[in-house]
Chains A and B, each alone.
Chain A
Amino acid sequence: MAVKNLIDGIREAMSEEMARDERVVLLGEDVGKRGGVFRASEGLVDAYGEQRVIDAPLGESGIVGVAIGMALNGLVPIAEIQFADFIHPAFNQIVSEAAKIRYRSDNDFHVPMVIRAPFGGGVHGGLYHSQSVEAFFMHVPGLKVVIPSTPADAKGLLKSAIRDEDPVVFFEHKRSYRLVRGEIPDGDVTVPIGKARLVREGKDLSIFAYGLMAFYAEQAAQTLAQEGISAEVIDLRTLLPLDREAILQSVARTHRALIVHEANHTMGAGAEVAATIAEGALYELDAPIRRLTGPDIPAMPFNTPQEEHFMPNPEKIAQAARELCAL
């Protein structure tokens, strides 16, 4: 087992799945010769050829719409959207088409496909290279929404997404691509979609997070441990379907809930986690549910102080935990 970057997990998953199954193709802007602007598909065009690693014309609706057609006719496409911020032109194809094809055809058709997109801030990406757009897609039955936070999960979850019979929107935090390192098991190891990961057990509070924030929550928990606060960290990993059982079980153990995400506050993933707890574990709570999120402003500013103020980080998470435990 070797220590690798998160983006290595993404690349290995795609490469191994393309080797395993000739139906798997990758299409997106600059995914071929350039290997993707983040280098997620580096080397794939050399290994699998231009027919299966397709430099798409610049247009997100086209990338997803063509991928849907491929999936309708026996291929398993991975459609890369260069930045999640640019996924909106494809919203109609994802929400009106991919998500509804099985349902509207009464199971006559389905579209096994993955839509990958780097998301999130902290990279001086400004308004349009920093967004967290997962909540839009959480509201769409028929889709699955997956966000890995470790290299092993990046690989294992992406493999599961590629093998899934339904469309999976797969968001990868771009700051975590080379920040988060970890061991990736050798061999063909998949991670199931729909299951949260217990990152660390605790007894004083539960911190629910995903993506880069799960990584930060783990760091915060280490700090808190030194202060005598035992924080449980749950990496949600899949936002749709949400692992409600894992959330409720954790709250039953710790009786306090802190939800962390970088996406803005109102109607974010945290709202659904909070509602799940309120509906299923209200009487377990010793304190009100707390959400630590990005602010309700249109998007992340470019300049350093405002960007830093936007992003939750390990210290902000630890502080929120302290406040919650003081209640």
Chain B
Amino acid sequence: MAKTKVSPKATSSLGPAEVRKMYRNMLLARTVDERMWVLNRAGKAPFVIPCRGQEAAQVGWAAGLRPTDFFLPYYRDIGVMLTLGYTARQAFLSLIGKAEDVTSGGRQMPGHYGWRERHVITGSSPVTTQVLHAVGIAYASRMRGEDAVAAAALGEGSTSQGDFHEALNWASIYKLPVLFVVENNGYAISSPQAKEMAVQDAAERALGYGMAGVTVDGTDFFACYEATVQAAERARRGDGPTLLEFKMYRLLPHSSDDDDRTYRSRDEVDAWKERDPILRMQQHVLEAGVMTAEDDGALRAEVQAEVDEAIAYAEAAPYPPVEDMFTHVYAD
């Protein structure tokens, strides 16, 4: 029951085909993200919340769990969603609020995920509320004797919220199978980590709750994946929750409405671009012989084509009828 700072070796139980799939998920997340940004700048999408720089952690933690587990992603987690089977089409349908959007039928802003079929719990905009839901979900699963784990993601800024404290306290008192996944990208909009907490690592906070805390290099897919698998194993064994912290950097502004030039230097951003998780994964797959440079080029072209098709599909798709806005306030 102590905080550990580890970066597991860049090896894992994943075979080459699975590694290729994870790399594809990361590329798809990046490509979807880039094209959403373009659509926003072209005036075709009102709002975009980017994931750029966080793909390794997002794909890693989602892949480290089972379909029977519960996922409570936060608004930046497109990489989580794509790993769980969400498609590029679904991402763009949600981006422009079309009727076919599986997360909310076009009701919610993009990035507010929810998909019962895949155990993705509906989320809102007030941050950190979801971590308490994960606790209740885990309590219910354990009460029925099931081995499901509930994983709630949040930014490091959200660790300042009272709900964060209450959730960690509950989960540790009852030793519940919960993973608190802090995607630490260094900023809460404009506030750097030093203005959010007095500790070096958010995972240090685990100590105060008597739970495991792990800080991981969030640009290393394999480290994120393995740390999640290990935390989930602890949870399933009955050894209680884990506070997982993935450290990385938000390469873009907070959202399409933000301008990060007002609060951080280009030098800082450029330095982090050299640690881009996509570059790191690309280097791995090429060096490990998972694929050739030619395969990589073909994969990227395939992903681009998928996104092109998704955008065309979503743009042509119908909006929900106005009268539908009055449905589902209560049970019918």
Query: Which residues of A come within 8 Å of B, CB atoms?
Result: 25, 51-52, 56-57, 59, 61-62, 64-75, 77, 89, 92-93, 96-97, 100-110, 141-142, 144, 164-166
> Which residues of the other chain, A, contact B327 by a CB distance below 8 angstroms?
107
B211 close to chain A: CB less than 8 A: no
A69:B134 contact, CB within 8 angstroms: yes
B70, CB-defined interface residue at 8 Å = yes
Q: Bound complex: CA of A256 vs CA of B274, how far in Å?
A: 77
Q: Which of A25, A57, A106, A165 has the most CB of B within 10 A?
A: A106
How far is A68 from B133 in the complex, measured between Cα atoms in Å? 6
CB pair B329–A142 under 8 Å, yes or no, is yes
0 or 1 for each of B93-135: is its CB under 8 Å from A? (1 = yes) = 0000000000111011000101110000110111001011111
Q: Is the CB of B331 within 8 A of A57?
A: no
Kindly name the residue among B126, B166, B167, B328 whose own CB sees the greatest number of chain A CB atoms within 10 A: B166
Residues of chain B contacted by A142 (CB below 8 angstroms): 329-330
CB distance A73 to B70 under 8 Å? yes
Assembled-state Cα–Cα distance A290/B119 (Å)? 52
- Residues 161-202 (chain B) with a chain A CB within 8 angstroms: 162-163, 166-167, 169-170, 173
Kindly identify which residue among A66, A97, A103, A107 contacts B139, using a CB–CB cutoff of 8 Å: A66
Verify A71–B136 contact, CB threshold 8 A: yes
In the bound complex, residues from chain B placing their C-beta under 8 Å from that of A25 are 143
Partner of B122, one of A51, A61, A74, A105: A105
B136 touches which one: A57, A73, A96, A141 (CB < 8 A)? A73
Nearest-neighbor residue (CB-CB) of A95 within chain B: B126
Q: Does any Cβ of A come within 8 Å of B141's Cβ?
A: yes
Q: Is the CB of B136 within 8 A of A70?
A: yes
The count of A-to-B residue pairs whose CB atoms sit within 8 angstroms is 133
Give chain B nearest CB distance to A28 CB in angstroms.
13
Contacts of B121 in A (CB 8 A): 72, 109
Is A102 in contact with B329, judged by CB distance below 8 angstroms?
yes
> How far in angstroms is the closest Cβ of chain A from B174?
9
Q: Is B140 an interface residue (CB 8 A)?
A: yes
Q: Contact check, A66 vs B330: say whether CB atoms are below 8 A apart.
A: no
- State A104–B327 Cα separation when bound (angstroms): 11
Find out whether the CB atom of B330 lies under 8 angstroms from the CB atom of A61: no
B137 within 8 A of A: yes
Question: Bound state CA distance, A144 and B115, in angstroms?
Answer: 25
Chain A residues contacting B126 (CB-CB under 8 Å) are 92, 96-97
Question: Considering residues A51, A67, A72, A74, which has the most beta carbons from chain B within 10 angstroms of its beta carbon?
Answer: A72
Q: Contacts A57-B173, A104-B122, A105-B104 hold; do A65 and B133 have CB atoms under 8 A apart? A: yes
Interface residues on B, range: 35 or more
Q: Are A69 and B137 in contact (CB under 8 A)?
A: yes
Ranked nearest first, the 9 interchain pairs of A and B with the lowest CB-CB distance are A69-B136, A65-B132, A62-B166, A106-B105, A69-B133, A165-B331, A73-B140, A105-B122, A70-B136
Q: Which has the most chain A C-beta neighbours within 10 Å: B70, B116, B121?
A: B121
Query: Which residues on B sit within 8 Å (CB–CB) of A96?
Result: 124-126, 129
CB distance from B108 to the nearest CB of A (A): 5
User: Which residues of A lie under 8 Å from residue B115 when comparing CB positions?
Assistant: 108
Distance, CA A164 to CA B139, complexed state (A)? 21
In the assembly, what is the distance between CA of A62 and CA of B42, in Å? 42
Tell me which of B70, B143, B162 contacts A89 (CB under 8 A).
B162
CB under 8 Å from chain A, chain B span 143-163: 143-144, 150, 162-163
Further pairs besides A70-B136, A97-B133, A106-B107: 17, Cβ < 8 Å:
A57-B169, A57-B170, A62-B132, A64-B132, A65-B136, A66-B132, A66-B135, A69-B137, A73-B137, A73-B141, A75-B136, A89-B162, A104-B112, A107-B327, A108-B116, A109-B116, A164-B331
For chain B, residues 288 to 332, give those with C-beta under 8 angstroms from any C-beta of chain A. Answer: 327-331
Q: Kindly provide the distance from the CB of B146 to the nearest chain A CB, expressed in whole angstroms.
A: 9
Does A104 lie within 8 Å of B108, measured CB to CB? yes
CB atoms of A77 and B107 under 8 A apart: no
Q: From residue B105, how far is it (CB to closest CB) to chain A in Å? A: 3
A59-B166, A61-B163 known; A66 vs B173 contact (CB < 8 Å): no
